[in-house]
Amino acid sequence: MILPSMRFAFLLLFVLTQLATAQTKVYFSPKGGCTEAIVTELGRAKSSVFVASFTFTSTEIAKALIDAKKRGVRVSAILDSSNETEKYSAATFLQNAGIPPLMDHKHPIFHNKFMVIDGATLITGSFNFTKAAETSNAENLLVIPDAKLCGQYLVNWQEHSKHCERYERKEAKANSRTKK
Ligand SMILES: [Zn+2]
């Protein structure tokens, strides 16, 4: 039997533990755990993941997104249009897994690299979702638990999504083009 005061103590401990873990973390490439950090955060996703990515070739990160999708998490991605022609882009991989990415053709480069997880955790930095970014490039990656900041990124994501086209068959492009 747990006394009320003990329950309160447990609750307090739980809250303090949550606060202690909810801190911004930073990782640096090469081989500084960026990919692992992203995969870990994606593994915790419960409801939604919004991705904005320039180059995307990391199989590990693509797999983590697909695993999240299989758990019932809503996964949405905007990619730079170069991913349509990149031989090793994760675009097809995602598409085949039921996550049809949106392609942003509006800018010379869609240079964003961020993810918003459950509207609560923001992942961003110079780190592209590629193997080279993990193993050889000099990059940084921040994991920021900040719902307000996530909200700002989500607004930006939505804005871009309005002029994107689906990465799929040509006939599907007709509708999205009219949105410009
Ligand atoms: Zn855009």
- Domain for residue 72, yes or no? yes
Q: What is the mean pLDDT of residues 108-116?
A: 98
Task: With cut-offs at 50, 70 and 90, classify the pLDDT of residue 172.
Answer: very low
- Domain for residue 86, yes or no? yes
Residue 6: predicted pLDDT: 75
Active-site positions? 111, 113, 118
Q: For 63-74, how does the pLDDT look when each residue is reduced to its tens digit (9 = 90+)? A: 999 999 999 999
Task: With cut-offs at 50, 70 and 90, classify the pLDDT of residue 62.
Answer: very high
- Between CA 168 and CA 110 the distance in angstroms is 19
Ligand 1: centre distance to CA 163 (Å): 6
- Domain for residue 145, yes or no? yes
Q: What is the mean pLDDT of residues 82-97?
A: 88
Ligand 1: centre distance to CA 23 (Å): 30
Q: Where residue 74 sits, what CATH number does that domain have? A: 3.30.870.10
DSSP string, 67-118: HHHHTT-EEEEEEEGGGGT-TT-SHHHHHHTT---EEE-SSS----EEEEET
Neighbours of ion ligand 1 (CB under 5 A): 104, 106, 160
C-beta separation of 161 from 89 below 8 A: no
Q: What is the mean pLDDT of residues 64-88?
A: 94
- Domain for residue 2, yes or no? no
Ligand 1: centre distance to CA 164 (Å): 7
- Domain for residue 62, yes or no? yes
- Domain for residue 15, yes or no? no
Domain that holds residue 127: 23-177
Give the count of domains, the chain: 1
Ligand 1: centre distance to CA 172 (Å): 18
- Domain for residue 3, yes or no? no
- Between CA 89 and CA 79 the distance in angstroms is 10
Residue 77 corresponds to which amino acid?
A
> How far apart are the two ends of the chain, measured CA to CA in Å?
63
Bridge-based pairing of strands 25-28 and 140-145 is antiparallel
Q: Note the pTM of the prediction, 2 decimals.
A: 0.82
- Domain for residue 127, yes or no? yes
